[in-house]
Structure 1
Amino acid sequence: MSDATVRRTQADRRAKTRSSLLAAAARGLSTYGYANLVLEQVARDAGYTRGAVYHLFANKEELALAVVEWIGETWDTDVRRPSLDEAVPLASLITMARRHAFYCRHHDGARVMLTLRVEFTGQDHPVGRALDEAYHRLEAECAALVRAGRDDGSIPPGPPALLMAKSFLAVLESVGIEVAGEAPHDIELTERAVRGILGVAARA
């Protein structure tokens, strides 16, 4: 076996281990929160020893930050980017709601993010700061869509766009978690909820 093949095999093994640990940590964070997350249990749930965790992550904080980044990347790929591909601002927001509901069927990411946001509210902590930065970017993006929708007439006038965006995301998150996996009603109910916030009629 060549050195290049060995390195590739090692890299593949490392990537598989990392992915398994991130998934196990996400499950643990959604169930127990950050303060009660035990790295030994994360390792066991992923099918590895504690040493595997510390080989890839310096500590619990680094692992949690990696989970936040990992969830952000999956949500960006599955929800955000396809939504922004829509030509009409209102369609972007509705697509975001529908795709988020579908995302919640298969991922625990929304519950993890909400659990961590609640836990770190009012605290100056690296994980809390990472979450705040991600949410502020998304709020600004959704506020821009609301303003654009008002400009083209698809979204009626109402409260300030940023407040609308915050309300939209709060409803999106909470309803998506509450009805997760209740197909096909999860998508329909999430869309109904955000249409109410946006002040637009439900589909006929």
Structure 2
Amino acid sequence: MLERVASEAGYTRGALYHLFANKEELALAVVRWVEESWNAEVGRLADEEADPVEALLLMARGHAVYCRRDVAGVLMTLRMEFAGQDHPVGRAIAEIVDRVLAVCADRIAAGRATGAIPRGRHPSRRPTPTSAPSRASRSRLPATRPTTSNSPRGRCAAFSASRPFPPPWIAPNEAAHRSRIA
């Protein structure tokens, strides 16, 4: 991957390394570049939209298109490599994710304030193991995990953990393909 990035920029791999003091600085530069390109291609479009629901939809659509490109794969690779570590690259990626989640949370709050987005359950009111619904009603409710944090990241983690993978609307062939590339 690094060879391809270097050649597209007109450098050799060695020359690319000489532009930075170490691999960490190179990785941080890549993280900044990915954030800047995401903001230019996705964030800017949503920022120009006054309606919070439309802004969220623009973000979702733009993000889906953006994530199909190699540039998003680079950030995901770095995110996985530095997950759970106290490292400058991992912290930089976490800060980007936190900013995007905060923007989403603000837009959801704005949509709820106008009535365009219905109010959801407060995380503290979700069913717990001791207050679980009966077996008959359980089949109609999605499984949820209580969040340990009321932050946007905690709410999004609980949301994604409650969804099946693969999603039911993905065709079986596509689901098999996704499991191979995941």
Calculate the TM-score normalised by the size of structure 2.
Answer: 0.62
| Amino acid in structure 2 at the alignment position of 1:89 | P
The residue that corresponds to 1:59 in the other structure is 22
Give the 3 Å change call, closer, same or farther, for CA 41–153 of structure 1 in structure 2.
Answer: closer
Matches within 5 A, 1:1-204: 24-25=1-2, 43=6, 48-105=11-68, 107-160=69-122, 162=152, 166=156
Q: Higher relative contact order by CA 8 Å / sep ≥ 6: 1 or 2?
A: 1
Contact 1:121 1:128 in 2 (8 A): yes
Contact 1:139 1:169 in 2 (8 A): no
Give the 3 Å change call, closer, same or farther, for CA 52–136 of structure 1 in structure 2.
Answer: same
The residue that corresponds to 2:142 in the other structure is none
How far does the alpha carbon of each residue in 1:146-181 deviate from its partner, in whole angstroms, 9 at most, with x for none?
A: 10110111111114582686359969xx99xxx9xx
- Structure 1 CA distance, aligned partners of 2:40 and 2:159? 17
The residue that corresponds to 1:3 in the other structure is none
Deviating above 3 A after TM superposition, structure 1's stretches of 4 or more consecutive aligned residues are 40-51, 167-171
| Amino acid in structure 1 at the alignment position of 2:70 | D
1:109, distance to aligned residue in structure 2 (A): 2.5
Contact 2:49 2:55 in 1 (8 A): yes
Between structures 1 and 2, the one with greater helix share: 1
1:55, distance to aligned residue in structure 2 (A): 2.8
Give the 3 Å change call, closer, same or farther, for CA 159–76 of structure 1 in structure 2.
Answer: farther
Structure 1 gap ranges (5+): 1-23, 26-39, 180-204
Contact 1:90 1:146 in 2 (8 A): yes
Q: How many residues align?
A: 136
Q: Kindly report the root-mean-square deviation, in angstroms, between the aligned alpha carbons of the 2 structures.
A: 3.3
Give the 3 Å change call, closer, same or farther, for CA 141–117 of structure 1 in structure 2.
Answer: same
SS in 2 for 1:143: helix
SS in 1 for 2:86: coil
Structure 2 gap ranges (5+): 123-150, 171-182
Percent identity of equivalent pairs: 52
SS in 1 for 2:116: coil
- Structure 1 CA distance, aligned partners of 2:65 and 2:77? 20
How far does the alpha carbon of each residue in 1:63-100 deviate from its partner, in whole angstroms, 9 at most, with x for none?
A: 11111111100000000111121111111000111112
